[in-house]
Amino acid sequence: MQKGHGVRASAPAGFATWAWSAIAIALIGVIGYFSRSGAVSPRIANPDGVGAPPPVEFLFNFAHWVGLQQFFTVVAMVVLVSACILAWRRQPGHPYVLMAIASTAIVWQDPIMNWAPYAVYNPLLRHWPEDWPLIMLSPTVEPFVVIGYALFYFGPYFPAVWVLRKLQAKRPTDSFVWRRPLWTLAGLILVIGFVIDMMLEVSLVRTGMYIYSQAIPFGTIFAGTTFQFPLLWESTFVTFVMIPAGVLCYRDDTGRTVAEKLAQRLRFLQSRPTLATFLVMFGILNVAYFTYGGAFAAIRASGLATSVACPYPFPEAKVYDPQGYYEREGQPGPYFEGYWNRLTIGQPDGRPAVNPLKDNASCLPKENG
């Protein structure tokens, strides 16, 4: 009887394993079929720039950063997926695995979140077709490397909770770190996440994965260069997602996470606690990610992002210039406006047809400067 019962119990688990494996294989097949490299769509392609060297040197003048970045993305995802599988087998419904899935699933918003902060990706990265719905909102391309979001958004939780435990071990139970552990954890993630994002993004921009084509001069490091980075804004706003991702996984003295406690309020899913926990995580992270995008959308609408990344480093693509700022700074075209750049930035008629050159234009080619 026990043997038969074990066979019956293992059947659903075996089916789930095969089902998820089939989904993974199908997803890899879809990516492989539609994947492309380079500026393919006429909307963004600059045929005259194909094969031309970039007008600026990337870090160490190394020409293969794009391939290296994609290789390490694949390696990181293999490690992450393997770790998630092991954790799930040991504890089905493990909250860390659910958060890894939830923080990966918000990638559906990524084209919007590239549009909002003027994040222009290198077209040489493997990417989805540029003119697909939603994908087309990304200024140039929507690359596959963003699949590693779980490491980025959920990663800061682990050093932060380690520091929190160390602080609690050294302080009495009536201290702030014991009375307000979630606020303490949030503050730690803010600091740690800010530093991690700064180190990571400055490196990725410097190696040519993407640029911030426009930024507010205040709070931006290397402003006016190809490698400008809106440090104050980007490294702060990304913690809007990092903080809830970490707080939701905090376990109290009962051993339950914040997400699991919130999931108990979903009465219609009381019989599916794992699904309820995941939906809580996914819903809150989506709201948090929208908040990140909304903050940058407000900056776009304000017209304060006047510092442009000169020179524009992707010759095979047209210059993303929705407000004409690049043209005013003397950056050679051709230009393209992209989407969502009319009423959202106070230009009901689209990109200005006339953009007179500024007296102190900073993007003029050296031979003309």
Higher pLDDT, 331 or 344: 331
| pLDDT tens for each residue of 276-302 | 999 999 999 999 999 999 999 999 999
pLDDT at 365 over 90: no
pLDDT at 7 over 50: no
- Per-residue pLDDT, 105: 94
- Per-residue pLDDT, 343: 83
pLDDT at 19 over 90: no
| pLDDT tens for each residue of 64-80 | 999 999 999 999 999 99
pLDDT at 152 over 60: yes
pLDDT at 13 over 70: no
State the average pLDDT for the chain: 91
Structure tokens at 30: 């879809």
In 3D space, the residue among 139, 184, 163 whose CA is nearest the CA of residue 43 turns out to be: 139
- Give the span between the Cα atoms of 154 and 245, in whole angstroms: 6
Higher pLDDT, 16 or 84: 84
Domain chopping of the chain, boundaries = 76-345
Is residue 232 within 8 Å of 219, Cβ to Cβ? yes
Question: What is the β-pairing status of strands 319-320 and 335-336?
Answer: parallel
Over range 153-180, report the average pLDDT: 95
User: pLDDT band for position 27 (50/70/90)?
Assistant: confident
Rounded to 5, what percent of the chain is helix, strand, coil? 55, 5, 40
- Give the span between the Cα atoms of 345 and 329, in whole angstroms: 19
pLDDT at 4 over 60: no
Look at the pTM and tell me if it is higher than 0.75.
Answer: yes
pLDDT at 39 over 50: yes
**320 — phi, psi (to 5°)?**
-75, 105
Over range 87-94, report the average pLDDT: 91
Is residue 216 within 8 Å of 305, Cβ to Cβ? yes
- Per-residue pLDDT, 20: 64
| pLDDT tens for each residue of 190-203 | 999 999 999 999 99
Burial class, 40, CB count within 10 angstroms (exposed 0-12 / middle 13-18 / buried 19+): middle
- Per-residue pLDDT, 236: 97
In 3D space, the residue among 150, 165, 299, 317 whose CA is nearest the CA of residue 232 turns out to be: 299
pLDDT at 1 over 50: no
Burial class, 91, CB count within 10 angstroms (exposed 0-12 / middle 13-18 / buried 19+): exposed
CB atoms within 10 A of CB 245: 29
- Per-residue pLDDT, 18: 72
Over range 137-156, report the average pLDDT: 94
pLDDT at 6 over 50: no
- Give the span between the Cα atoms of 90 and 178, in whole angstroms: 30
- Per-residue pLDDT, 16: 58
| pLDDT tens for each residue of 224-259 | 999 999 999 999 999 999 999 999 999 988 889 999
Over range 348-368, report the average pLDDT: 85
Is residue 111 within 8 Å of 142, Cβ to Cβ? yes
